[in-house]
Structure 1
Amino acid sequence: LAMLAERDAKITLFHKEKYHLLRLTLDGTEAVSEKFTDPTEAEQAAVMCKGAAVTCTSVTKEQKKEQPPKLYDLTTLQREANRLFGYTAKQTLDYAQSLYEKKLLTYPRTDSRYLTSDMAETASCVIHLAAKLPPFDGCTNFFPLVEAMISDKDVSDHHAIIPTMEIEKADIKGLPLGERNLFLLVCCKLLCASAEPYVYETVTATFDCCGHSFTAKGKRVLAEGWREIDRIFRAFLKEKPADGDGSTLPDFTEGQTFDGAEVAVTEHFTQPPKPYTEDTLLSAMENAGKDGIPDEAERKGLGTPATRAAIIEKLVAAGFVERRGKSLIPTKTGINLVTVLPEPLTSPMLTAEWEQKLTEIAKGGADPDTFMDGIRTMVQEIVSTYSCISEDGKKLFAPEKEVIGTCPRCGQPVYEGKKNFACSDRSCGFVLWKNDRFWTSRKKELTKKMATDLLKKGRTNVKGMWSEKKQAAYDAAVILDDTGGKYINFKLEFPKRKEGVNGRK
């Protein structure tokens, strides 16, 4: 909740700044300048460069290799399912659990992304079975490499999530949509993890025009490798590729010159940080406070793969966080809660320290009684230091009152309370009581609409008021008759009867 509130504050306090770029067109390729914060300076540079000679000052080529991704643990599965399908962390866990119970997936509550050496043969069989499923049956020249996904030292309680051998006889098309999507996502990751690396070449060309530097970047794919499987799966889902291959640059050479440069100025704005989604929040929870935690600590971050979904759901259910599309936004109550909580309780370091000490106790290197004594002492200190919320803190949680009109005495707003409609200025004293004897004796209660009419028009029409004297109901207009005293008076005005043809009423 503190992480969400901090991000929300950064977004709220963000001030966008305008900047300009010069864009140079050469042989159908666009080269871009550095940022200009002064628009006049950008326009002057554009005038200078228009039609001038351009020189290529450098061309840099670099071959890069992207290794296949690792298999899924629960957190990465939840993150990608949120990014691709918009599933919440809890939905993904529920789908994965159902697939596990149907014996189609291995145990989902894992924090490992590797398999153990005794699984090599099984993994190889499962890979070949997954490669026969549509849409993966469209992959060409596929020779799986199982070795890359094996690491005994990186598997703690449970290995990575992969499909099981049941894949051979399962009716994948018959699965509910959520389960089917998740199952194919796990199959895709398994195939990608066992494929060849993705190899490409980046090209960066720099140009000079009238003393201003411009840069053009391009990319050339040398071997598609695992990205071919990812691309086929995304096309099947009608999703855009994860990373565009970029445009291929012409063969620029250092010292090459161009005449008559075409230059355009474009306007841009700096962007605020983005709200957390379940994908980015799960990642932030996993990495929370890692910088200050020793490398040998067994567990880092907030929660475990099995509990992070429940933590998010609890915040939503309690009304501290709300979902807006894929974004998770702290509510006013959530932000207020973080504001009044003691700092140790909103820091991931407290969790990290406890986890570290528990690990030492498990290894016999620390005393559990000493640990519990420390917990008790900390709780006592927090309770005594923060025994009550300050008056300012209480105001944060005061229910928001609805303005229903303007006070006829002082012009301040009139709010609805549980028992009355009162002026916001307490010294004024204007108040309309819902259970005023004027209303109760007539078997009526002053409603919000009636109070609004009284404040706006000075009168309200009321049907079915009871007359004790006549033992009958009647309709009348109630007129506000405020003489400035402690209690407000009311007058009744009855509708006039229509006259008959002969003049008698």
Structure 2
Amino acid sequence: MLRKAHVRCGAGENLKIISKSYLSLFIPTKKVPTQKALEKLPSIQREIYFTILKRTMAMFETDYKYDETTVTVEIKGLPFTSKGRIVLDQGWRKLEYPASKKTDKVEDNELPLLQKNETVETALKTSEGFTSPPKLYTEGTLITAMKTCGKDLENVEEKEILKATEGIGTEATRANVLETLKKQHYIDVQKNNVTVTPKGKILCQAVENTLLSSPEMTAKWETYLKKIKKEEGTQEAFLATIQKFIHHTLDSSGKIIENSDWSPTIKSMNHTHKTVGKCPICEQMIIDKGKFYGCSGYSNGCTFTLPKRYVGKTLSEATIKKLLLTKETQLLKGFKKKTGQTFSAALILNEESKLLFKPYEKVEKD
């Protein structure tokens, strides 16, 4: 019989397939099932039973002992290392536990008796082959890379900080980061393989060789957050530094992209946006940005926008075009009050280019 907490899984009960890590939660009870009872079990349940039994027995077995020899031979100034292993006591491995391919390879390699500084004869040969490109990332391996991103940092302190904080983001936010990248069309996922889109390549080139492309930035921020916790730093100073960093990055990235090979691509991407009229503030083109209409002069500081939905009513493209052209729309039906009551009104752009209802318009019930 097997037991987990207060659940008994016997010969006549259904035992679900469980992972190896979960097997350690089960222990055999004193009740020994008969051979007939075991034969009645489905094959998968029978395999699980004996796997758990074998693991429990291994806990009381002797250690697996071996003698491993490492030999380093120097040939023309280059070190070559070989390893050999002689098993002294199989211990718990007697229970037919499968060895790893690496362990099998070492055990099968028998080394001759050698003395230090002994001269040996060698036969060198070269082989030709082709390298394979690295495998594409999956969403799973990307999340793992985010968790272990600090392992290659040279600064030991920063490396330890990222190890303690588990790299970039948290368990709750890393998946959301990938979802955002997909929604913004920086990456594309096909058959679980992640590829970078042309838009994503532009972003990569923009942040290349900056702190944004290095986990070092996360380590520095985490360091200062600890100072704030110890009251050795302030929130205001931290946010001010981030603000300066963002402005500097945007300015640098803009110059990098403008002088890069991607500049024609960016211009062509900008031209593909649907235009609906001219901006009433800076006379640049108003383009469809998906959820709203915005000025193409945003990078130069113009923040003029128009919503696609206003007071419960969806504004058509024709309505937006008329509004930009004449600063006023015809009477529109379907606006909704908070009470749910609908009404009709015309829209205008006032002298400050703000979207408002036309004054003194007669309210009509639909």
State TM-score, norm by structure 2.
Answer: 0.43
